Amino acid sequence: MASARGPAYLLTLGRWRRGLGIATQSRALAALVPGVSQVDNKSDFLGKRSHRRHPGILQLSHVRLPQVLVDAAQLLLLESSMPNMEKQVQALTNYLWSRHLPVEPEDLQRRAVHLEKKFLENADSCQMEKLCGEVLHALRRTTYHWQELSYSEGLSLVYMAARLDGGFAAVSRAFHEIQARLPEFQPQTLMDFGSGTGSVTWAAHSTWGQSLREYMCVDSSAAMLELAEKLLKGGSGSGMPYVPGVFFRQFLPVSPKVQFDVVVSAFSLSELPSKANRTDVVQTLWRKTGHFLGKEKSPLDPRPGFVFAPCPHELPCPQLTASKPLACSFSQAYHPIPFSWNKKPKEEKFSMVILARGSPEEANRWPRITQPVLKRPRHVHCHLCCPDGHMQHAVITARRHGRDLYRCARVSSWGDRLPVITPSELPPSPAQDPPES
């Protein structure tokens, strides 16, 4: 397997959780942001294209799965003998959306100590022997009971019917961000950790099919890998795969020399049993990305890493560190696989982070729009995550910010980047001679 050449990216996606959604801020909080001064027009893009196509626009229209993939999924479901498929799909969808991360051992210990102190306050000497049982009973009642999902052949098919199209839409949006901002990037190799039904492979082929020559799909479930291979072969176990160069395995490559241009983990990190496991896996995936290992700089490739998207900075997330934490999430519309219960267009809500090898100076750090844009007469409300690591609620008008910036903001959407520069980024004014005395 060839190592990565040029830029390399680690992409992770996760499900947007209910209860951590977008909060509507009061109009009383709105203020003109002094840092948003004028449109960033260094490349003169506004002289070549309309405001509706400014380079900060990243939202895709309704995503459609490749027809060959739709046909394969419908064929597999038609040939299956599973009863009540619609009910099973709905039950699995509800379960996945309600699923939480497993409780960490230290958190469980803290809860036990808290409950013990609470019971001790009301306990007398004759109740002490019951204390241990009461603490254990309270822990069982109040603690989320996480269980590892084991995908059989039948459950894999239900997962395909429930999640193949939504997963494809989210990954397509993430890949589009890289392609739109760096059209010269042409990856040759890709690894997908927790590949499931293979939606990452299909999305990558739709985005970079002309350059990608190797796809490594890693999943612990043999049933999932078999299903993904059938989808590539049109729904059968034989024949030529629609996407060439796809390899399947149940374990990550051990050799540190095996690296890939793009490494993806889509909706799989939350299925690991602990924070320590997730940290270890992310570090392993990062080592598989690019030319060098870990955080140490290599004499062959001294490039560090930085956050390519969605954050315009490497600072703590301002939404997660707020008094009321909010999830940094996005939404992508898509046309679902037209099963009998699945006819209307849908939206996939997800969170993502894209890490890149290189230096932050290699990418422009425009603010990210983190909530739906509110369009009002002669002004626009934009909630922005800014390069200084802070959230800003900007009210943009043509009178105070200029016609170009106002029009760019008005046609932008949630998830887009606003092409603006701050006063610190403006070129210095030419030096003037002191007045003659």
- Residue 130 in this model has a pLDDT that exceeds 60: yes
- Residue 46 in this model has a pLDDT that exceeds 60: yes
How many residues are recorded in the chain?
437
Highest mean pLDDT, choosing among 8-22, 115-129, 229-243: 229-243
- Residue 6 in this model has a pLDDT that exceeds 70: no
Helix (H, G, I), strand (E, B) or coil at 285: helix
DSSP assignment letter at 381: E
Mean pLDDT of the chain: 82
- Residue 66 in this model has a pLDDT that exceeds 80: yes
Domain 63-96+148-356 has CATH 1.10.10: no
pLDDT in tens, 385-422: 999 999 999 999 998 888 888 999 999 999 999 988 76
Q: Which residues of 261-281 are buried (b: 16+ CB within 10 A; e: fewer)?
A: bbbbbbbbbbbbeeeeebeeb
For residue 129, name the pLDDT band (cuts at 50, 70, 90).
low
- Smallest Cα–Cα separation from 253: which of 201, 189, 193, 188? 193
- Residue 299 in this model has a pLDDT that exceeds 90: no
pTM: 0.85
Q: How many CB atoms lie within 10 A of CB 6?
A: 15
Where do the DSSP E strands lie in 269-413?
305-309, 330-335, 346-357, 368-369, 374-376, 379-385, 391-396
pLDDT in tens, 70-87: 999 999 999 998 899 999
pLDDT of residue 127: 59
DSSP assignment letter at 288: T
More confident call, 115 vs 376: 376
- Residue 425 in this model has a pLDDT that exceeds 70: no
41-52: average pLDDT: 72
138-144: average pLDDT: 70
pLDDT of residue 433: 45
pLDDT of residue 436: 45
- Residue 28 in this model has a pLDDT that exceeds 60: no
- Please report, rounded to a whole number, the percentage of residues in the chain having pLDDT higher than 90: 55
For residue 122, name the pLDDT band (cuts at 50, 70, 90).
low
Domain segments of the chain: what residues?
A: 33-56+366-422, 63-96+148-356, 103-142
Both tokens assigned to 308: 């390519």
- Residue 101 in this model has a pLDDT that exceeds 90: no
pLDDT in tens, 302-312: 457 899 999 99
- Residue 266 in this model has a pLDDT that exceeds 60: yes
For the ranges 132-136, 150-154, 326-330, which has the lowest average pLDDT?
132-136
Please give the C-alpha separations between residue 144 and each of 128, 139, 273, 406, in angstroms, as whole numbers.
27, 9, 13, 47
More confident call, 148 vs 159: 159
Segment (H or E) for 279: helix 275-287
DSSP assignment letter at 100: -
pLDDT of residue 335: 97
- Residue 316 in this model has a pLDDT that exceeds 60: yes
18-45: average pLDDT: 45
Please give the C-alpha separations between residue 177 and each of 18, 340, 384, in angstroms, as whole numbers.
25, 32, 18
More confident call, 203 vs 7: 203
264-290: average pLDDT: 91
